[in-house]
């Protein structure tokens, strides 16, 4: 397995979030500026003059009918004539943008790099928004046949249920965890959607069916919002903060665009020659090698790279807090397995046994995740990165006005970002 040879260590020195909601009634550049202002306010020694590069993430040109939005944002922030470019990688775009900024700083092409993310999805209705998002599937084969992401994920969840015995209640437990955590996050969208009330498993199970087994409360939110982080080299990071958070490892993996191409894949058969070791003894053995359509092989590829770089051997024991791309609660459960927190087929045990809560083995999505905090696609993983930055710096009580979701003494965090039906997945390890 290829492991990057990093020339310089890279730190996150500050970050900010512009509140997630739908609609926001501000332009994209205004939301980014709000997040950037928070980042600057939290790092008084940092000025706009110090930033020498800017990487921008946003998913779709369709929502705002605007190309080259990165240029507008760069200008609005007062960064012209400094270099800016856009990174787009579907739902994994924000962490891919962080990876690009990381590469600039690690290579010496940048000393202080701003990474921004934004999405504005409120200009169209939900049906049209889902149509735009579905354009990230294969428009020659899947999209004309009526394919859309909830349908794809429902099929993958149903397959996982058949193989390993997951239940709708298992998925609902994850939705309850994430949405209720969001009630303590003032940046989150869900409290605005439901009036700040806690939900129960029955609420999830009784919500409107979309595509079995997924219901409305099993799904993430359509969101508007923005976020940013500032990366700096080890040489200058401590000029700006006494508490830098280091990107200790970062990986990116891919899979076939169409899930139907994944079974019987010679590629995965070659990579996972010992795939039998991935399954618990009681599980039905899939006819095809891991990941077939029940798991996300790209995640395991990305995680292995990030773990190798960071020296992580036992992720469940060594990682304190994780932010997962929970576009659907079912995919969070599947991702437990692909991050190697447990064996394939045993993700359900982590939620059933309460091992993924703030006061347990590893806290997963204390921000509320995509289901609770929201999913402004181009911003999502950057916003989750900011939340992890605050976790590692013990700033959640200050930022959330509540200590309920602060992971006490957190030293190591994992950030996960996911695109398509698992077509591109990125993983990063952050350490104090």
pLDDT of 393 over the 80 cut:
yes
DSSP state of 136: T
The pLDDT assigned to 391 comes to: 99
Buried b (16+ CB within 10 A) or exposed e, 172-181: bbbbbbbbbb
Q: Rounded to an integer, what distance in angstroms lies between the CA atom of residue 70 and that of residue 54?
A: 9
pLDDT confidence bin for 287, thresholds 50/70/90: low
pLDDT confidence bin for 421, thresholds 50/70/90: very high
Q: What angle do the packed helices 149-164 and 329-338 form, to 10 degrees? A: 60
pLDDT of 100 over the 70 cut:
yes
- The pLDDT tens digits of the residues spanning 218-262 come to 999 999 999 999 999 999 999 999 999 999 999 999 999 888 888
The pLDDT assigned to 431 comes to: 99
pLDDT confidence bin for 157, thresholds 50/70/90: very high
Percent residues over pLDDT 90 in the chain: 81
pLDDT: which is higher, 273 or 356: 356
The pLDDT assigned to 138 comes to: 82
Lowest mean pLDDT among 289-293, 336-340, 349-353: 289-293
The pLDDT assigned to 190 comes to: 98
Please provide the DSSP assignment of 166-193 as one string: --HHHHHHHHHHHHHHHTT-TT-SHHHH
The pLDDT assigned to 286 comes to: 67
Q: Rounded to an integer, what distance in angstroms lies between the CA atom of residue 247 and that of residue 234?
A: 11
pLDDT of 197 over the 80 cut:
yes
Q: What is the pTM of this model?
A: 0.96
pLDDT of 303 over the 80 cut:
yes
The pLDDT assigned to 205 comes to: 99
pLDDT of 285 over the 70 cut:
no
12 forms beta bridges with: 231, 245
Locate 27 and state its tokens.
Answer: 């332009």
pLDDT: which is higher, 285 or 32: 32
- State mean pLDDT over 205-217: 98
pLDDT of 85 over the 70 cut:
yes
Domain 10-124+223-240: CATH class, spelled out? alpha beta
The pLDDT assigned to 108 comes to: 97
- The pLDDT tens digits of the residues spanning 170-188 come to 999 999 999 999 999 999 9
Please provide the DSSP assignment of 340-386 as one string: TSS-TT-HHHHHHTTTTSTTSSSEE-TT-HHHHT-B-TTTHHHHHHH
The pLDDT assigned to 244 comes to: 97
- State mean pLDDT over 124-134: 79
Q: Mean pLDDT score of the chain, rounded to an integer? A: 94
Residue carrying structure tokens 């280091």 = 246
pLDDT of 141 over the 70 cut:
yes
Percent residues over pLDDT 70 in the chain: 97
pLDDT: which is higher, 363 or 259: 363
The pLDDT assigned to 395 comes to: 98
pLDDT confidence bin for 276, thresholds 50/70/90: low
- State mean pLDDT over 49-75: 92
The pLDDT assigned to 145 comes to: 79
pLDDT confidence bin for 134, thresholds 50/70/90: confident
């Amino acid at each position: 397995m290829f492991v990057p040879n990093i020339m310089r260590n890279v730190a996150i020195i500050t970050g900010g979030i512009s509140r997630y909601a739908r609609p926001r009634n501000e332009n994209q550049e205004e939301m980014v500026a709000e997040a950037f202002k928070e980042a600057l306010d939290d790092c008084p020694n940092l000025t706009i003059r110090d930033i020498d590069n800017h990487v921008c993430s946003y998913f779709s040109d369709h929502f705002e009918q605007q190309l080259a939005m990165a240029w507008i944002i760069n200008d609005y922030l007062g960064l012209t004539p400094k270099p800016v470019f856009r990174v787009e990688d579907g739902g994994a775009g924000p962490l891919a943008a962080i990876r690009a900024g990381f590469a600039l700083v690690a290579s010496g092409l940048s000393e202080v790099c701003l990474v921004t993310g934004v999405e504005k999805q409120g200009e169209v209705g939900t049906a049209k928004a889902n149509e735009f998002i579905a354009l990230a599937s294969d428009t020659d084969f899947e999209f004309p046949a009526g394919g859309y992401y909830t349908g794809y994920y429902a099929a993958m969840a149903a397959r996982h249920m058949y193989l390993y015995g997951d239940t709708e209640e298992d998925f609902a437990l994850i939705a309850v965890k994430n949405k209720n955590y969001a009630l303590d996050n003032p940046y989150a969208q869900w409290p605005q959607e439901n009036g700040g009330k806690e939900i129960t498993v029955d609420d999830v199970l009784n919500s409107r069916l979309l595509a079995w087994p997924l219901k409305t409360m099993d799904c993430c939110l359509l969101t508007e919002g923005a976020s940013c982080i500032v990366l700096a080299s080890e040489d200058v990071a401590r000029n700006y903060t006494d508490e830098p958070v280091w990107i200790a490892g970062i990986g990116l993996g891919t899979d076939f665009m169409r899930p139907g191409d994944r079974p019987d894949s010679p590629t995965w058969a070659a990579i996972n020659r010992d795939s039998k070791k991935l399954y618990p003894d009681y599980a039905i053995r899939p006819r095809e090698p891991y990941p077939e359509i029940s798991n996300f092989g790209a995640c395991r590829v990305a995680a292995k790279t990030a773990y190798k770089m960071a020296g992580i051997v036992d992720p469940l024991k060594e990682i304190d807090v994780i932010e997962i791309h929970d576009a659907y609660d079912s995919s969070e459960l599947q991702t437990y397995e692909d991050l190697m927190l447990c064996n394939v087929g045993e993700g359900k045990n982590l939620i059933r046994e309460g091992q993924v809560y703030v006061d347990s083995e590893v806290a997963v999505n204390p921000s509320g995740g995509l289901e609770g905090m929201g999913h402004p696609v181009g911003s999502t993983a950057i916003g989750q990165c900011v939340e992890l930055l605050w976790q590692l710096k013990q700033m959640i009580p200050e930022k959330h006005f509540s200590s309920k979701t602060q992971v006490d003494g957190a030293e190591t965090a994992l950030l996960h970002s996911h695109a398509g039906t698992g077509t591109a997945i990125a993983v990063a390890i952050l350490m104090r």
